[in-house]
Amino acid sequence: MDLARRFLFNGYACAYSGRVYRPKDITIPSPASAALSVAGGLSTAEGKRQRFLPYLSVGKSAASAKGQFDERKRAVEMTHGRIGEDALTSSTVCTATTEDISMDDGRFKVKYLHAVVHASSPSANNEPPIRLGRQTVIRGVSIDGHELAVTIDQSFLAVRSFDAIVKTVDRKRAPVFEASKECIYTSVVRGLTWVDRPHPDAVIDGHLIQVPDFGRVYFGELFIQRASWRMTLLRAHLGSPIGLRVGFVDVGANGSWYPPTT
């Protein structure tokens, strides 16, 4: 069989999901998730408020994944068999939004989370150009009434290869940066600062805030592999007095050619 070279679209977005482990066992379903088929297109979903009181309450949410070839006229030529699919370029955009988050009977609140990831079809090295969308934002964060400002690292708005990120990142300024041959773990959040009065017991450690008798919250986690990004804008691990694991605004994209470039 002669396999024509084609592009496999891949992109997804999840508003949030997780689980309350104790004192009750409650699975938290995602009210808004989207994923592309290999042919691209558009996948969208919207969700209404969900309440898992007193552990968690979340307002409106939305998710979207869109993948398409960049030039429609050339794509039409491809459908006629006049040019090959590998003569085209493609773009994928994935977004997720979550509003009005309240955890642990209102102790921790977030007004608005929104993330955008852009990906383009890979060049000869099979590494797709991926970047953070400028609209990505974390707004209205507070713990026990103490407001926290979250700053997004603007350097992720530019496309950089896996190797370039490893070589050029300022590890002294990065809130977290761990790199292996195949994966980088870092954060798109540059800093966490108190807006007014600091929380008397909270500890800020890079992209992480820890509060006794509450738990830990991680901001802007990003896993970068040579052919993909996966970003979670907010991840909560509550350990006392409730056991809760939940991730908010989780998006990722890549896409690849098959057969791959050798």
Residue 55 and residue 51: Cα distance in Å, rounded?
8
Query: What DSSP assignment string belongs to the chain?
Result: --PPPEEE--EEEEEEEEEEEESS-EEE--SSEEE-BTTBEEEEEEE--EEETTTEEE--EEEEEEEEES-HHHHHHHHTTSS-GGG--EEEEEEEEEEEEEETTTTEEEEEEEEEEEEE---TTS---EEE-TT-EEEEEEETTEEEEEEE-GGGGS---HHHHHHH--TTTSS-EEE-SSEEEEESEEEEEESSSPPSS-EEETTEEEETTTEEEEEEEEEEETTEEEEEEEEEEE-SSSEEEEEEEEEEE--EEESPP-
Per-residue confidence (pLDDT) for residue 1, from 0 to 100: 59
Instruction: Give the pLDDT confidence of 198-239 residue by residue, as tens digits.
Output: 999 999 999 999 999 999 999 999 999 988 999 999 999 999
Q: What integer pLDDT is reported at residue 125 of this predicted model?
A: 66
Cis bond upstream, residue 23 (ω within 30): yes
Q: What pLDDT sits at residue 171?
A: 82
Residue 241, phi then psi, degrees to nearest 5 = -85, 0
CA 155-156-161 angle, to 5 degrees, is: 105
**146 - beta bridge partners?**
143
* pLDDT score for 252: 97
Q: What is the identity of the amino acid at 4?
A: A
Across the range 68-89, mean pLDDT stands at 94
Structure-block tokens of residue 191: 């800093």
Mean pLDDT, rounded, of the chain: 94
Q: How confident is the model at residue 164 (pLDDT cuts 50, 70, 90)?
A: confident
pLDDT on residue 113: 98
Question: What is the average per-residue pLDDT within 166-171?
Answer: 85
Return d(Cα 232, Cα 229) in angstroms, integer.
10
Which pLDDT band holds residue 194 (cuts at 50, 70, 90)? Answer: very high
- CA-atom Rg of the chain in angstroms: 20
Query: For the whole model, what pTM was predicted?
Result: 0.94
pLDDT, tens only, 116-137: 999 999 875 678 999 999 999 9
**pLDDT for residue 43 is more than 70:** yes
pLDDT of the residue at 71 = 96
Phi, psi of 74 (to 5 degrees): -70, -35
Residue 2: what pLDDT? 64
How confident is the model over 86-104, as a mean pLDDT?
A: 96
Taking the domains of the chain in order of start, what are their residue ranges?
Answer: 6-252
Q: What average pLDDT does range 61-89 have in this prediction?
A: 95
pLDDT of residue 127: 85
Model pLDDT, residue 3: 77
CB 227 within 8 A of CB 122: yes
- In this prediction, residue 158 carries a pLDDT of 93
What would the pLDDT profile of 1-25 be if each residue is shown by its tens digit? 567 889 999 999 999 999 999 999 9
Alpha-carbon distance values, 42 to 9, 32, 91, 213 (Å): 11, 14, 12, 43
